[in-house]
């Protein structure tokens, strides 16, 4: 690079693109955006106040703009094509979760970036937010995790998900909409998943072409077990109120309870007579986005080891795909990895 800052093109200017843009501009130059929807492109400029080149066609952006990297906040099913196109032009890739709808898609992305010798990072912010980062840290006090569980029932109707989100082939399924954060965090706490099984309930919300309620069981290579019960059709809680978790460690336990405007963490060592309480009024989004995007740029410029790579993204997709397959097979336990022949 002949210039000081990494020059970035953003693909996908719907709800999340404008939200992520200020964090991008803190670490790089956002010079161009691309989205097939003209209304989204124009709304992005109005919301952010950024003067950027606007494109409908990805190929035109690549041909006309001198960029070093791309950030993908586009629909899940577009990630593979855009990553391969960027890699073939020597551009580094930051891809928002979920990495892609299938593991096979993920491996195609990985191979393209490896062949082009460009960086590929997948953003998984939950493990980077301070309340959840504190839980990872507390394992030093409480010992290795033996069991972890999430009850992620909430009401998705206020978010009005539509379009590609409602179609499994394009989104990946219910866990890509409500479970991707939780699965990645469970991996951060327990390591790689060895086996997965799942069952789905009869659908309630007919907007989706998949069941809107799923129960998942996980077995980790460490011997730990995990469970996650997720639903989009539970009217009693909003999404942010349903992100808590309970953890059993060898020498104690933790409980995270989430609210709209704060997060409470309780933890206790087996030798303690009472629990300890830590309250987080800062929900930690700023910290997480700055960490992952800052690390991405540092990885490009200086080669520093980042907080995340493509591996976290691929392994998360693998667990989700395995769970969805298991549910289609009446809860059969499936062994991971799903596609060992694709390892690189």
In whole angstroms, what is the distance from residue 207 CA to residue 278 CA? Answer: 39
CB-based contacts of 328: which residues, under 8 Å, 6+ apart?
none
Q: Which residue has the tokens 């996980």?
A: 218
Task: Note the pLDDT of residue 93.
Answer: 98
**C-beta separation of 92 from 69 below 8 A:** yes
Q: Express each pLDDT in 78-119 by its tens digit.
A: 999 999 999 999 999 999 999 999 999 999 999 999 999 999
- Alpha-carbon gap, residue 251 to 60, rounded angstroms: 57
C-beta of residue 146 within 8 angstroms of C-beta of residue 246: no
| pLDDT 10s digits, 239-249 | 999 999 999 99
- Please identify which residue in the block is written with the tokens 């298991």: 326
Q: Which residues contact 81 (CB under 8 A, 6 or more apart)?
A: none
Q: For residue 342, what pLDDT is reported?
A: 65
Q: What is the pTM of this model?
A: 0.96
pLDDT mean across residues, the chain: 96
Q: What is the pLDDT of residue 2?
A: 45
Confidence of residue 130 (pLDDT cuts 50, 70, 90): very high
Name which of 59, 117, 107 is nearest 85 in CA terms.
59
Mean pLDDT of 18-43: 97
Q: How far apart are CA 34 and CA 116, in angstroms?
A: 22
Q: Give, as one character, the DSSP assignment of residue 202.
A: P
The residues near 224 (Cβ < 8 Å, ≥ 6 apart) are: 144, 145, 146, 147, 148, 190, 191
Q: What is the pLDDT of residue 340?
A: 75
List, for residues 192-230, the tens digit of each pLDDT value. Answer: 999 999 999 999 999 999 999 999 999 999 999 999 999
Look at residues 132, 326, 143, 158 and name the one whose alpha carbon lies nearest to residue 245: 132
CATH classification number, 6-125, choose in 3.40.50.720, 3.40.190.10, 1.20.1050.10, 3.40.50.2300: 3.40.50.720
126-286+318-335, CATH topology level = Dihydrodipicolinate Reductase; domain 2 (3.30.360)
Asked whether 12 and 41 are in contact (CB, 8 A), the reply is: no
Angle between helices 180-190 and 130-142 (to 10 degrees): 30
- Structural domain spans, the chain: 6-125, 126-286+318-335
Judge whether 6-125 and 126-286+318-335 match in fold: no
43: part of which helix (H) or strand (E)? helix 38-48
């Amino acid at each position: 690079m002949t210039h000081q800052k990494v020059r970035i093109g953003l693909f996908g200017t719907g709800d999340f693109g404008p939200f992520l843009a200020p964090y991008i501009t803190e670490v790089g130059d956002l010079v161009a955006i691309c989205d097939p929807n003209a209304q989204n492109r124009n709304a992005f400029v109005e919301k952010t106040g950024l003067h950027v080149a606007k494109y409908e066609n990805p190929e035109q952006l690549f041909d006309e703009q001198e960029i070093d990297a791309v950030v993908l906040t586009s629909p899940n099913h577009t990630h593979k094509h855009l990553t391969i196109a960027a890699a073939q032009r020597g551009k580094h890739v930051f891809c928002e979760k979920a990495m892609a709808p299938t593991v096979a898609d993920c491996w195609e992305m990985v191979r393209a970036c490896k062949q082009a010798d460009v960086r590929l990072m997948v953003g998984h912010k939950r493990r980077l937010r301070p309340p959840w980062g504190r839980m990872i840290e507390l394992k030093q006090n409480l010992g290795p995790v033996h069991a972890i569980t999430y009850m992620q029932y909430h009401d998705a109707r206020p978010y009005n998900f539509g379009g590609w989100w409602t179609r499994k082939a394009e989104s990946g399924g219910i866990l890509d909409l409500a479970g991707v954060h939780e699965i990645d965090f469970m991996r951060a706490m327990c390591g790689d998943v060895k086996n997965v099984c799942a069952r789905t309930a009869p659908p309630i919300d007919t907007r989706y072409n998949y069941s809107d309620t799923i129960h998942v069981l996980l077995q980790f290579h460490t011997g730990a077990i995990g469970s996650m019960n997720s639903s989009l059709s539970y009217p009693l809680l909003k999404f942010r109120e349903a992100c808590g978790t309970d953890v059993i460690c060898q020498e104690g336990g933790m409980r995270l309870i989430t609210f709209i405007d704060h997060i409470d963490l309780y933890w206790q060592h087996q030798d303690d007579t009472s629990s300890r309480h830590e309250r987080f009024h800062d929900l930690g989004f700023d910290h997480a986005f700055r960490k992952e995007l800052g690390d991405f740029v540092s990885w490009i410029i200086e080669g520093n080891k980042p907080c995340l790579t493509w591996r976290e993204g691929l392994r998360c997709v693998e667990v989700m795909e395995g769970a969805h397959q298991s549910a289609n097979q009446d809860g059969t336990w499936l062994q991971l990895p799903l596609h060992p022949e694709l390892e690189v």
